[in-house]
Structure 1
Amino acid sequence: MAAKMAGAVQVLKDDTVKRTPMARPSNGREGKPIRLLSNHFSVKLRGVDAVFYQYSVCIKSEDDKVVDSKGIGRKVIDKLLQTYCSELDGKDFAYDGEKCLFTVGPLPQNNFEFTVILEETSSRAAGGSPVHESPTQANKKRVKRSHLAKKFSVDISYAAKIPLQSVALALRGSESEHGQDVLRVLDVVLRQQQAKRGCLLVRQSFFSDDSRNLVDLTGGVSGCRGLHSSFRTTIGGLSLNMDVSTTMVVTPGPVIDFLVTNQNAKKMLKNLRVKAKHNNMEFKIIGLSDQPCSRQMFPMKVRNGNIEIKSVDITVQDYFKSKQVELTMPYLPCLDVGKPKRPNYLPIELCHMVSLQRYTKALSSQQRAMLVEKSRQKPQERMRVVTDAVKSNMYDDDPILSSCGIEIEKQLTRVDARVLSAPALVVGNSEDCIPNRGRWNYNNKRLFDPVKIERWAIVNFSARCDMSRISRELINCGRSKGIFIECPHSLVDEDSQSRRCSPVERVEKMFEKVKASLPGPPEFLLCLLPERKNCDIYGPWKKKNLHEMGIVTQCIAPSNKMNDQYFTNVLLKINAKLGGMNSKLALEHRQMIPVVTQIPTLILGMDVSHGSPGRADIPSIAAVVGSRCWPLISRYRASVRTQSPKVEMIDSLFKPLDDGKDDGIMRELLLDFYQTSQQRKPKQIIIFRDGVSESQFSQVLNVELNQIIKAYQSMGQGDLPKFTVIIAQKNHHTKLFQADSPENVPPGTVVDSGIVHPRQYDFYMCAHAGPIGTSRPTHYHVLLDEIGFSADNLQKLVLSLSYVYQRSTTAISVVAPICYAHLAAAQMGQFMKFEEFADTSSGSVNSSSPPSIPELPRLHADVCSSMFFC
């Protein structure tokens, strides 16, 4: 095996193989040449002899507690630099806001201990919300505190040297010990520059406090447009990647506006920061008062000079009235900005939301749609924004960058690209169909392999729709596409009283009616849902059909936009689910796909989906789809499992049980391939892996691939297949533009020079047409290629796999197996209410063992091999 993987492996002392990402063997040559621009800005290194010195930083407050707030850390270090400039030889710092700072050249000594005094720290800077018995005392103590000095001790100690030369070696394709460390230091310099300007920092993106950058998404949430910046090593040299970025923030403005627009305000308010109008102080909310301002009491100590007389109870409204502040909405509750046992109340009407507070919870489907629609930018606009940003940030004036001799170009980088021809498709009657600009249609055409639907019914959870019309139009549209559809056996309406029941009960009651109205199990059910997105009936309905009954089902939400194109799209899904095929690649039909057609080849798509942002207690869902019926590459079967929350590596590819059997994902897919491919085992396996970052490439190569190998070995003797492992990344910031056209780059555009990795094997591909906004190419990274594809054959295979997506009549932006894996994980994730699991499991706090992960219900034998996820 080590010989097989020569050039990409290292054999360790215990005979295990450690694989590393392969080097680029060659560049592609096919396709029409095209000159493009990219949002990379060339960086010149004129001082490669410079050395960064890394120092560890420990900041402690007066009570000897370690300060871990980035905001305070930056203020302390800024003050330290002002106070002790001469002791530090006037060195400029690049500080990450936490525990590391960097200088160009060494400081005078390896260890320092400083005392730093900060003045006029607000309640926010002092590390939390003020905690006092009453607003009177709170104000007095706060005013007093704001003028007191805060003392911090700062320990600085030498940690490491990072020579700038390392990045120069990496650019030449050499292995470099500190190459990534240099990039990290340079990114810290950029982040520090933006932090000093008061920006919100989110990883490598920054967002300024400018209302023009906000897009209201309703519900007290706004999309905030900012910029991403990061240094990257490329085959063309060091570059600065600058892109438009968006994050979600709480909409700034009066708290009352937030409450009016948000139905879940009480939960959302917790831990948000507000500024009080009457004293201009910032506070952190811990909750709402039980009573409105007019009735909420608190004890106030009444003083006569310096002699304390007594404590009296007073309402919040009366207290503010005594301070000449008339409340206009005393019927509203107060914000509690104290601590659980020491409340401190502020009237809502006196408070504004502090700007640039991140909103990390999941968006509603409506908010997501609004964000996508309102944050789109045409290519020319995006080019202008990033170019202006590089010019306005004046990076050349940064003392650290300039001391290293780093200069950043102000123009977008030119790149050489190629446009590959779209693969020809075959539809009904073996008729060729040539996509045009990444699109095709079935006007006057039939599907390649249409099914016949005889026993079926329509079930209606939607109160307002005409089932007869929907049935009629679906049948007519189907027949024009070659699908023969009998009249439905039944049209089953939900009883009006059932609509008050829970979703699971509604589904059960509906199935009782279906059973009563049909002579036997249907081969297909069309389900009409009351709403398109996030319908709570969807999950229970899919689970009932796919897990318990083994019935293929298609859900739609009736609307007034149900035209012929709409029913065509629905029929594409239905046909694929029932075992038909809508189109095939012409090369697939003629068994002429290079490398893949000659030797039994299994294609895998792998993805892991995680719970909503901020929910670390919801299991993640791993899905793998495998091709079947070789030599086809258009049919797939899915296998899905749950795993620990937020874990990206798939842990159930090989899953040996106590009885020696394997219940893992790969056994299921390997058996299916064997049974549907003339009893042939795969001799080649192509793996497309989604959703992993560069830091996880090694785990894919050395953990997940080993699990796949073990699963194969556990199924009997025989040589191991050859593997090709490809990562597909959509979550990156490289964009491509046509210099002289307002349109996006044409579908089939591929870039494997200029802005790609200096040593490893990667390329960017824009397989799809981008009619709206700016297209995002997919970044493919080939980690291993034992099969031995030429660059052209591999790139053409990737493009072809973007044209076999059975749900669509357009090329998609990433290969179909990955899209299918994503769909399978999302659909089966609806089977269970994981929020309920999380609530029950969190009750066992004292348990020493972690809570068990609930398993997903398995698919019924009648549908497990179907493309149910289409």
Structure 2
Amino acid sequence: MMEKATGSDEVGGTSSLLPLPPIKPNNVQPEKIDLPKYSIVSRPGSGRSGNRIPLLSNHFKVSVNALHSIFYQYTVAIHSEDQNVVEGKGIGRKIMDRLYQTYSSELAGKEFAYDGGKSLYTVGPLPQNKFEFTILLEDSYAKGESGGSHGSGSLVGAGKRSKHYFRSKTFKVEIRYAAKIPLEAIGHALKGQESDNRTQDALRVLDIVLKQKAANSGCLLVRQSFFHDDPKNFIDLGGGVVGLRGFHSSFCTTQAGLSLNTDVSTTMILKPGPVIDFLLFNQNVNDTRHIDWIKGNQKDLNLRHIQLCHYFSHVYKSTLSLQRASLVEKSRQKPRDRMQTLVDAVGNNHHDQEVVLTECGISIDRQLMQVDGRILETPKLKIGNGEYCIPRNGRWNFNNKTLLKPTYIDSWLVVNFSARCDLSYISRELISCGRKKGIHIERPHTLIEEDQQSRRASPFARVDRMFEQMREKLSEPPKFILCVLPERKNSDIYGPWKKKCLCDYGIVTQCISPTRINDQYLTNVLLKINSKLGGINSLLAIEASPHIPLIRDIPTMILGMDVSHGPLGQLDIPSIAAVVGSRCWPLISRYRASVRTQSAKMEMIDALFKPLANGKDDGIIRELLVDFYQSSGGRKPKQIILFRDGVSESQFNQVLNIEVEQIIKAYQNLGEVDVPKFTVIVAQKNHHTKLFQASGNDNVPPGTIVDTKIVHPRTYDFYLCAHAGMMGTSRPAHYHVLIDEIGFNPDDLQNLIHSLSYVYQRSTSAISIVAPVYYAHLAAQQISQFLKLENSSETSSGHKIMTSSGIVAFPELPRLAKEVESSMFFC
């Protein structure tokens, strides 16, 4: 009879783990030492390795001939006739436009940059420090505008056509002097001096000029992206949603000077039209009598933006996912086409006609910036039978080759949740393909088809019933289960199934939904299975030799950290923090994960160190440190290389002084006094810099790196395109080195990061960002499926719990069973 995994007795499942010596007795606190305070390092120099390649980038050089100019900031307060504060950027811009038309002489004819809210900027001062004006509008409404709360890809269009009415047509506007912002602050930053708030303020003013120009031309504004409401820019995505093409433009300081970064941007909006038509279409009914008003939220349909975004996120989750995929597919441009689009956009925007810019002596080049790139050497991989392979164009394969360390599968079965397929055929082909790759797979113990009575039950009930069928046929749990799902993506079965297997029973499982079974498909499946069961598909050749600089001789742990957030605007769904840590040092290809829930939308990970009342630590890092120690021959990490995903420049100091501090505290809690050396690197994919070959025909080659001209003038960053761009235009990863106590030289660090794009065990191609970061994202994504409610009729607010202090918290995630907690279950 199958039995559940019992796990361990102590919190966190660590009672069977060996301690990290020297461990202080439980009643003795570790010696207290001062925690280091970190500051972001300056660039130590540029890399030299690799072959040179001339490139172009979507940065346009900006000349500034009046750095002595000073922006004067004024606070704007707008009130209606009944003294209510007027908010809304659309109406605000309309009022301020009328103000300038009416009172230009009082303002000495000085044009201004207005952010649509509470701030106005001029080059040089206005005649007075305080003004009060009365404005009369004939139509007291304005089109809505996103104030930056939505990112690209958000459903923002519903609010775009909503109207904001006011009872009066008369408004009072008060303008007060607030501060001076010298343009010279940008000049200081360009010279490599440490930038401060004044630099960011000055850049913000320049960006506001771009936003004001776009708003005046009738654009939808989403942060620094601008979208013209023109049918030729629409992409029909189905389901009442359209994609909208536009442009991102923002000023930035670079090593080559001030530049304008311009890129193609897309967003999703609701298709313009009556709400009733929208509901009829999406509910697939022909008459309003058949509309499900509960789903549509009839009583609040006047709040079209809020309710329909909510409607989409709760009722059409899979539809939205498919629509985003469709948007990406239909928005792709080949490198040459994108280059031409960007050059045309900058030329057609006529920035040289903007008075605020010309008063500062600002002119913008209309050609893509030329940059020097390098192509790093492709890492060599070690595979089975003592062979090596060198990837070509970022890819390799296992045709007529075997895996480096294939596993042996002797206790397994296949289950099918009503997918139309032949389980016998699938199992035979998998065994045959595995044999070719070196994996010995015995015949499965059994093949189980879901009984027809279960097919209409809830996902949790279907999973429970499947396990009942398994218990009827097996005397003990298998080591592996191949699970066939009817839907390729967004299956309701997936979350409950993974939770039951990984948490309750400690069974490794692989889900598939095959449309066509061939050798390539089966090989990809086997790569995942082999990794999950402890095998190794390939290693970097340098992992098997003493040639990993500064890592081979000193125990070094690599961390990948990411936080996954719930849908936009929903604060009742927790964020998921995931950290993966390397194991089996000196290898850098093997990882395990630790995952926790935390407050919705919170980006900093708060469970890295989690002290309990008994003095023990139930945090993420303790799990990973103990696992490193046990899997690395009793060695404790003396160096930690940390890759952090998903944070912006404004959060870099928080990473250093909140998250790194927690890691140190977790280390100390284990009785350690000597703090490890840290190298902390932020990996960003969500940016707008693109690289092009000068010819423009093809994407840049895999391994292309740029660490001059378009990089930060002072801090240590670079762009790396490790992967082969097969469709559209490649987006490089943007790496920021925050601290480097380990002391890598630029070439060694850049080559290490490049190599970590080749250790991703799920595929036979280089990936766009280092594998530890990708693994952390996968772990968070998979574990988040555990949060799906058993009763599908409940709302997501069932996740929330209220503490005695009134703080909204979320229940802990179930921990993985001890049999799989150290596995690469996320592969």
TM-score if structure 2 supplies the norm length? 0.89
- Percent same amino acid at aligned positions? 63
- Is 2:195 the partner of 1:181? no
Are the structure 2 counterparts of residues 773 and 502 from structure 1 closer, same or farther at C-alpha, using a change threshold of 3 Å?
same
Report if aligned partners of 2:411, 2:478 keep a CA contact under 8 Å in 1: yes
Amino acid at match of 1:388: D
Residue of structure 1 in register with 2:80 after alignment: 61
SS at match of 2:787: coil
Amino acid at match of 2:75: S
Paired with 2:170 and 2:61, the residues of 1 have a C-alpha distance of: 44
Amino acid at match of 1:217: L
- Is 2:216 the partner of 1:196? yes
- Is 2:252 the partner of 1:232? yes
TM-score if structure 1 supplies the norm length? 0.85
SS at match of 2:238: coil
Q: 2:63 aligns with which of 41, 44, 48?
A: 44
SS at match of 1:429: coil
Q: 1:608 aligns with which of 563, 575, 593?
A: 563
Report if aligned partners of 2:89, 2:144 keep a CA contact under 8 Å in 1: no
Paired with 1:800 and 1:602, the residues of 2 have a C-alpha distance of: 16
Residue of structure 1 in register with 2:20 after alignment: none
Cα deviation, 1:193-247, whole Å, max 9, x if unaligned, reads 0000010000010100111111111111111111000001000000000000111
Amino acid at match of 1:248: M
Alignment of 1:535-554 (within 5 A): 535-554=491-510
Residue of structure 2 in register with 1:374 after alignment: 330
For these two proteins, the number of residue pairs brought into alignment is 766
Paired with 2:744 and 2:801, the residues of 1 have a C-alpha distance of: 53
Report if aligned partners of 2:90, 2:143 keep a CA contact under 8 Å in 1: no
SS at match of 2:768: coil
Paired with 1:263 and 1:38, the residues of 2 have a C-alpha distance of: 45
Paired with 2:93 and 2:47, the residues of 1 have a C-alpha distance of: 48
Are the structure 2 counterparts of residues 62 and 254 from structure 1 closer, same or farther at C-alpha, using a change threshold of 3 Å?
closer
Deviation, 1:731, is 0.2
Deviation, 1:852, is 2.4
Deviation, 1:264, is 9.2
- Is 2:812 the partner of 1:855? yes
Report if aligned partners of 1:550, 1:863 keep a CA contact under 8 Å in 2: yes
Residue of structure 2 in register with 1:163 after alignment: 182
Residue of structure 2 in register with 1:728 after alignment: 683
SS at match of 1:170: helix
Cα deviation, 1:585-634, whole Å, max 9, x if unaligned, reads 01112242111111100000000000012312110000000000000000
Amino acid at match of 2:661: N
Residue of structure 2 in register with 1:408 after alignment: 364
Q: Report the more deviating stretch, 729-738 or 614-623.
A: 614-623
Q: Report the more deviating stretch, 16-25 or 487-496.
A: 16-25
Q: 1:534 aligns with which of 471, 490, 494?
A: 490
Q: 1:86 aligns with which of 81, 99, 105?
A: 105
Q: 2:433 aligns with which of 467, 477, 494?
A: 477
Deviation, 1:739, is 1.6
Deviation, 1:256, is 5.6
Residue of structure 1 in register with 2:160 after alignment: none
Residue of structure 1 in register with 2:355 after alignment: 399
Alignment of 1:116-135 (within 5 A): 116-122=135-141
SS at match of 1:475: helix
The structure with the larger Rg is: 1
Deviation, 1:252, is 2.1
Residue of structure 2 in register with 1:389 after alignment: 345
SS at match of 2:675: coil
Are the structure 2 counterparts of residues 473 and 427 from structure 1 closer, same or farther at C-alpha, using a change threshold of 3 Å?
same
Report if aligned partners of 1:250, 1:358 keep a CA contact under 8 Å in 2: no
Paired with 1:635 and 1:641, the residues of 2 have a C-alpha distance of: 21
Report if aligned partners of 2:75, 2:176 keep a CA contact under 8 Å in 1: yes
Deviation, 1:148, is 9.3
Paired with 1:155 and 1:741, the residues of 2 have a C-alpha distance of: 52
- Is 2:573 the partner of 1:652? no
Are the structure 2 counterparts of residues 838 and 848 from structure 1 closer, same or farther at C-alpha, using a change threshold of 3 Å?
farther
Report if aligned partners of 1:334, 1:345 keep a CA contact under 8 Å in 2: no
SS at match of 1:430: coil
SS at match of 1:861: coil
Alpha-carbon RMSD across the aligned residues, in angstroms, is 2.7
SS at match of 1:656: coil
Q: 1:639 aligns with which of 590, 594, 614?
A: 594
Amino acid at match of 1:379: P
Residue of structure 2 in register with 1:245 after alignment: 265
Deviation, 1:763, is 0.3
Q: 2:116 aligns with which of 85, 94, 97?
A: 97
SS at match of 1:793: helix
Are the structure 2 counterparts of residues 427 and 394 from structure 1 closer, same or farther at C-alpha, using a change threshold of 3 Å?
same
SS at match of 2:559: strand
SS at match of 1:217: strand
Report if aligned partners of 2:141, 2:166 keep a CA contact under 8 Å in 1: no
Q: 1:222 aligns with which of 226, 231, 242?
A: 242
Cα deviation, 1:570-594, whole Å, max 9, x if unaligned, reads 0000000000000000111224211
SS at match of 1:248: strand
Cα deviation, 1:341-374, whole Å, max 9, x if unaligned, reads 9x9999xxxxx99xx9999846633212212211
Are the structure 2 counterparts of residues 842 and 686 from structure 1 closer, same or farther at C-alpha, using a change threshold of 3 Å?
closer
Are the structure 2 counterparts of residues 858 and 419 from structure 1 closer, same or farther at C-alpha, using a change threshold of 3 Å?
same
Q: 1:501 aligns with which of 426, 444, 457?
A: 457
Paired with 1:502 and 1:89, the residues of 2 have a C-alpha distance of: 70
Amino acid at match of 1:469: Y
Are the structure 2 counterparts of residues 642 and 394 from structure 1 closer, same or farther at C-alpha, using a change threshold of 3 Å?
same
Paired with 1:97 and 1:472, the residues of 2 have a C-alpha distance of: 65
Are the structure 2 counterparts of residues 334 and 796 from structure 1 closer, same or farther at C-alpha, using a change threshold of 3 Å?
closer
- Is 2:447 the partner of 1:491? yes
Report if aligned partners of 1:602, 1:673 keep a CA contact under 8 Å in 2: yes
Return the structure number with greater strand share: 1
| Structure 2: gaps spanning 5 or more residues | 1-32, 146-163
Report if aligned partners of 1:249, 1:357 keep a CA contact under 8 Å in 2: no
